Amino acid sequence: RKEVEQDPGPFNVPEGATVAFNCTYSNSASQSFFWYRQDCRKEPKLLMSVYSSGNEDGRFTAQLNRASQYISLLIRDSKLSDSATYLCVVNPRSGGSYIPTFGRGTSLIVHP
Amino acid sequence: EPEVTQTPSHQVTQMGQEVILRCVPISNHLYFYWYRQILGQKVEFLVSFYNNEISEKSEIFDDQFSVERPDGSNFTLKIRSTKLEDSAMYFCASILGSSGYTFGSGTRLTVV
């Protein structure tokens, strides 16, 4: 089983739609979790951290399910500018250091 | 907002040549990383650096690669004898603690 798995998509949705992505991870000792956004040929940019209690930032909601070892990202009222690749990043602690592991990313295309 | 700065933005080199990729992490950050992303593929961990030494490295980070923090601010990745398959985007990232990673805008390395 891959360390961090994401459905590559693409998810093709109309403006205003609600879309959700999941990401599963294999290391049960994983410590911290993030969603990043990556535009084509650009660097990953932190979208939000994912906390055990779930967290929301405007139209974006992230949740963590430790029992099932997955995190999710929900985007409400999609905008054209949300079109990007969304990367799941999991931080399994290894010997006291942080080595974040990236998923392959889920591609989102929001169309008019 | 503090930034991670990478130079050059694009480097073209001949196979077998040495290249040095440069990064200036955020000044109060403690952990530094190099990642690479081959076009169309996932972001891959290369090496992490803490307290002026390598803390973790991946299988990709073989004897051809080395990192240095020569002057307390710059963080460099050297590839001694480049191969065609080293062509990729190379991202530097830094982190203070358990917060999200801040990535530089990357260096696109093209080996011809």
pLDDT in tens, B38-70: 998 999 999 999 888 998 899 999 999 999 988
- Whether pLDDT at A95 is above 60: no
Contact status, residue B34 vs residue B67, Cβ threshold 8 Å: yes
Which of B42, B51, B91, B95 should be substituted to probe chain A, the one whose Cβ sees the most A Cβ atoms within 10 Å? B42
Top mean-pLDDT range of A23-27, A88-92, B7-11: B7-11
Is pLDDT larger for residue A85 or for residue B28?
Answer: A85
Q: Which residues contact B1 (CB under 8 A, 6 or more apart)?
A: none
Structure confidence at residue A97 as a pLDDT band (50, 70, 90): low
Q: How far is A38 from chain B (nearest CA, A)?
A: 10
- Whether pLDDT at A1 is above 70: no
- Whether pLDDT at A109 is above 80: yes
> What number is the average pLDDT over the span B61-85?
93
Contact status, residue B45 vs residue B59, Cβ threshold 8 Å: no
Q: pLDDT exceeding 90 applies to what percent of chain A?
A: 74
- Would you state the pLDDT for residue A98? 65
Whose CA is closest to A105, among A2, A9, A1, A3? A9
Is A94's CB within 8 Å of B56's CB? yes
Structure confidence at residue A2 as a pLDDT band (50, 70, 90): low
Average pLDDT, whole number, for chain B? 92
Is B103's CB within 8 Å of A43's CB? yes
- Would you state the pLDDT for residue B29? 85
Where do we find the tokens 């710059």? B74
Q: How far is A104 from chain B (nearest CA, A)?
A: 5
Q: How far apart are CA A79 and CA A74, in angstroms?
A: 13
Q: How many CB atoms lie within 10 A of CB B56?
A: 19
